[in-house]
């Protein structure tokens, strides 16, 4: 049978079988609500394979195994029975580092992740301008000049110049975030509102790109982005609080749907504001969260230090028990803080975006509130500084599970320190293959080979490695990041990045499930399929342990269950 029809058949069967139930079984005081049988189950690393699982009324796994006959006493007439038709069933994916509300709003804004040229982007913005009230901002994100089919002919420093875009959007300020999140593009109207001119100096830790006569080109890197985003925030402040919350809620509804469609049952957010913590608490109390959300609080030290009452917060599906900070920017935009200069930018070692002393204060704040510390570090200098800082406060015996977010480029001497300190490497498989087009150019071959996205070396040294996409920096689809993790190859076939650093299939599944749960102190609640844990699982069209590499990419999510409830099914 051709694959599509097979998926369709499974989907139809799921729908049909879920509406039927067997009337012949005995009743129990607490009968199971759901039986899934005839599945190919991977419950987690080093756990025995199974073919069936039983979900209890409270949404946890009641039993898992191969012999459903012995469960007859646990079934009731109203127990839903699903014949999985041997589909692959595994714990739901845990997005280990993404931006939940950011992905929500990006789903509502212009998305350039798949744009092939600057002209295409300008056309999309111009079209949006026609339907946007005069004076309102137009926002978008996901553009990346290295991913276009050809460089733009009117460019400075590899980036386009704003004139063309500005001419077509004179009535609207426009801000378009770079895919990395570490640069943005502004049109003339946005720069006017931000008060940016030829005279504006570069702020600390940031850069305003300029043409040969010194005029801003529209590109703002790292901390210089604040000039434009502050102006945008001024506009947001003119919205009523209700309108702002409605917009946020619309994004949250969209991101939940997007995650569930992709088999994601838990999401670890890398930067939540106090206001959002309150709103998430409300959603959780109203049972309106359709998946589990674990967030890192992110504010300046002063803002946090004065406002920590009620934190950490442990709710039903919402938890805020970590603090986010960052030491550098991204590799693509020369923001990664390196020990030695960039190979393609001699004399430049990147950006230290937050002073080490400030991150140290935030570390002490995390310690005093018994919260995890999560530090963004991409370059080898940033990773070393973070490890040095964490070594002051954690030992493996403390079991604090502090995390380095991205841990992208690590000096080989520092790789063993993750396991030695019990520091988690919160990595993203897809970043490796996305960056494969320029990482070797930035770092040179030797540094790229020995220390860039070195998850094989980290795992061999005993470190805990998690997975994710940094969405909306990348598409939130875990299948693509899984593929990158096990092949180090781009889906478009344009590059393979040092494949000797690939994970095994089981390691990659583990990184996307139990390792992520462990990295949030949730391994006793979710991440594997064993009795007592949440019945968060997905049914997939291929067995990700044994299908071919090409089949990995074709894998479809057939159904997503959170707490035993079906939240998505392939139509």
- Could you list the residues that contact Zn ion (CB under 5 A)? 270, 470
Taking the complex as a whole, the smallest distance from the CB of residue 112 to Zn ion amounts, in Å, to: 18
Taking the complex as a whole, the smallest distance from the CB of residue 508 to Zn ion amounts, in Å, to: 20
Beta strands in 441-518 (DSSP E): 465-466
Taking the complex as a whole, the smallest distance from the CB of residue 371 to Zn ion amounts, in Å, to: 18
Taking the complex as a whole, the smallest distance from the CB of residue 186 to Zn ion amounts, in Å, to: 21
Taking the complex as a whole, the smallest distance from the CB of residue 341 to Zn ion amounts, in Å, to: 25
Q: Which sign does the torsion angle of CA 190, 195, 198, 202 carry? A: negative
Residue closer to Zn ion (CB basis): 82 or 359 = 359
At residue 10, what are phi and psi to the nearest 5 degrees? Answer: -65, -45
Residue closer to Zn ion (CB basis): 25 or 433 = 433
Taking the complex as a whole, the smallest distance from the CB of residue 428 to Zn ion amounts, in Å, to: 8
At residue 385, what are phi and psi to the nearest 5 degrees? Answer: -60, -40
Residue closer to Zn ion (CB basis): 100 or 561 = 100
What separation in angstroms does the CA of 99 have from each of 316, 470, 473? 20, 7, 9
Burial of 5 (0-12, 13-18, 19+ CB in 10 A): exposed
Taking the complex as a whole, the smallest distance from the CB of residue 329 to Zn ion amounts, in Å, to: 11
Peptide bond into 462 cis (omega under 30): no
Distance CA 330, CA 323 (A): 20
On the CB side of 532, CA atoms within 13 Å amount to 4
Residue closer to Zn ion (CB basis): 175 or 270 = 270
Peptide bond into 472 cis (omega under 30): yes
Residue closer to Zn ion (CB basis): 76 or 327 = 327
Taking the complex as a whole, the smallest distance from the CB of residue 52 to Zn ion amounts, in Å, to: 38
Distance CA 511, CA 329 (A): 24
Residue closer to Zn ion (CB basis): 270 or 515 = 270
Distance CA 363, CA 388 (A): 12
Determine how β-strand 206-210 pairs with β-strand 174-178: unpaired
Taking the complex as a whole, the smallest distance from the CB of residue 315 to Zn ion amounts, in Å, to: 23
Cβ atoms of 342 and 349 closer than 8 Å: yes
Tell the residue number behind the tokens 């609640």, with chain if given. Answer: 525
Burial of 132 (0-12, 13-18, 19+ CB in 10 A): middle
Distance CA 538, CA 94 (A): 11
Taking the complex as a whole, the smallest distance from the CB of residue 296 to Zn ion amounts, in Å, to: 10
Taking the complex as a whole, the smallest distance from the CB of residue 185 to Zn ion amounts, in Å, to: 19
Residue closer to Zn ion (CB basis): 82 or 375 = 375
On the CB side of 433, CA atoms within 13 Å amount to 25
What separation in angstroms does the CA of 73 have from each of 30, 32, 53, 194, 268? 10, 9, 14, 69, 38
- In the three-class reduction of DSSP (H, G, I as helix; E, B as strand; rest coil), residue 99 is classed as coil
At residue 320, what are phi and psi to the nearest 5 degrees? Answer: -125, 100
Residue closer to Zn ion (CB basis): 405 or 507 = 405
Residue closer to Zn ion (CB basis): 186 or 270 = 270
Residue closer to Zn ion (CB basis): 96 or 564 = 96
Taking the complex as a whole, the smallest distance from the CB of residue 97 to Zn ion amounts, in Å, to: 6
Residue closer to Zn ion (CB basis): 11 or 471 = 471
Q: Give me the residues paired with residue 569 across strands.
A: 559
The pair of structure tokens assigned to 353 is: 């975006």
- In the three-class reduction of DSSP (H, G, I as helix; E, B as strand; rest coil), residue 171 is classed as coil
Residue closer to Zn ion (CB basis): 118 or 280 = 280
HEC sequence for 10-47:
HHHHHHHHHHCCCCCCCCCCCCCCEEEECCEECCCCCC
Taking the complex as a whole, the smallest distance from the CB of residue 470 to Zn ion amounts, in Å, to: 4
- In the three-class reduction of DSSP (H, G, I as helix; E, B as strand; rest coil), residue 415 is classed as helix
Residue closer to Zn ion (CB basis): 267 or 537 = 267
Residue closer to Zn ion (CB basis): 82 or 336 = 336
Residue closer to Zn ion (CB basis): 83 or 470 = 470
Q: At what angle do helices 100-108 and 241-261 cross, to 10 degrees?
A: 100
Taking the complex as a whole, the smallest distance from the CB of residue 116 to Zn ion amounts, in Å, to: 24
Distance CA 525, CA 213 (A): 59
Distance CA 239, CA 56 (A): 45
- Other beta carbons less than 10 A from residue 272's beta carbon: 25
Q: At what angle do helices 241-261 and 274-285 cross, to 10 degrees?
A: 70
Taking the complex as a whole, the smallest distance from the CB of residue 276 to Zn ion amounts, in Å, to: 15
């Amino acid at each position: 049978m051709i694959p599509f029809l097979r998926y369709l058949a499974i989907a139809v069967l799921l729908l049909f079988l879920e509406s039927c139930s067997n009337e012949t079984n005995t009743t129990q005081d607490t009968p199971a609500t759901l039986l899934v049988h005839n599945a190919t189950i991977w419950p987690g690393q080093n756990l025995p394979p199974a073919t069936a699982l039983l979900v209890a009324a409270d949404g946890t796994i009641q039993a898992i195994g191969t012999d459903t006959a012995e469960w007859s006493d646990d079934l009731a007439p109203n127990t839903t029975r699903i014949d999985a038709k041997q589909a692959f069933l595994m714990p739901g994916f845990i997005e280990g580092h993404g931006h939940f509300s950011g992905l929500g709003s990006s789903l509502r804004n212009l998305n350039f992740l798949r744009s092939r040229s600057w002209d295409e982007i300008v056309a999309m913005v111009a079209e949006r301008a026609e339907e946007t009230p005069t004076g309102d901002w137009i926002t978008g994100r996901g553009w990346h000049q290295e991913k276009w089919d050809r460089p733009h002919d009117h460019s400075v420093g590899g980036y386009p110049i704003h004139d063309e875009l500005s001419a077509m959007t004179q009535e609207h300020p426009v801000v378009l975030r770079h895919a990395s999140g570490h640069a943005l593009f502004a049109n003339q109207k946005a720069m006017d509102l931000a008060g940016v001119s030829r005279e504006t100096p570069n702020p600390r830790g940031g850069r305003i790109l300029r043409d040969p006569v010194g005029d801003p080109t529209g590109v703002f890197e790292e901390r210089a982005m604040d000039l434009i985003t502050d102006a945008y925030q001024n506009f947001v402040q003119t919205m009523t609080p209700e309108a702002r919350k409605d917009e946020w809620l619309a994004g949250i509804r969209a991101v939940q749907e997007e995650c569930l469609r992709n088999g994601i049952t838990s999401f670890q957010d890398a930067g939540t504001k106090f206001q959002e913590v309150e709103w998430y608490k409300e959603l959780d109390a109203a049972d309106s969260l359709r998946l589990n959300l674990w967030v890192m609080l992110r504010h300046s030290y002063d803002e946090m230090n004065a406002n920590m009452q009620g934190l950490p917060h442990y709710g039903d599906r919402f938890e805020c028990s970590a603090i986010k900070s960052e030491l550098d920017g991204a590799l693509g935009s020369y923001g990664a803080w390196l020990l030695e200069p960039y190979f393609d930018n001699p004399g430049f070692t990147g950006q230290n975006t937050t002073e080490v002393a400030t991150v140290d204060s935030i570390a002490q704040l995390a310690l005093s509130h018994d919260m995890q510390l999560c530090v963004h570090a991409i370059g080898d200098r940033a990773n070393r500084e973070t490890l040095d800082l964490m070594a002051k406060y954690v030992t493996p015996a403390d079991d604090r599970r502090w995390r380095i977010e991205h841990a992208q480029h690590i000096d080989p001497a520092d790789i063993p320190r993750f396991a030695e300190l019990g520091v988690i490497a919160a990595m993203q498989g897809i970043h490796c293959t996305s960056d494969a087009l320029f990482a070797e150019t930035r770092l040179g071959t030797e540094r790229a080979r020995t220390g860039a996205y070195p998850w094989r070396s980290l795992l061999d040294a005993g470190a805990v490695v998690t997975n994710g996409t940094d969405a909306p920096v990348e598409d939130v689809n875990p299948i693509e990041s899984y593929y990158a993790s096990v092949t180090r190859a781009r889906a478009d076939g344009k590059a393979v990045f040092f494949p000797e650093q690939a994970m095994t299939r089981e390691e990659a599944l583990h990184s996307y499930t139990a390792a992520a749960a462990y990295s949030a102190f949730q391994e006793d609640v979710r991440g594997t399929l064993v009795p007592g844990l949440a019945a968060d699982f997905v049914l997939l069209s291929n067995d990700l342990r044994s299908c071919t590499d090409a089949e990995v990419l074709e894998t479809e999510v057939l159904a997503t269950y959170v707490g035993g409830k079906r939240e998505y099914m392939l139509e």
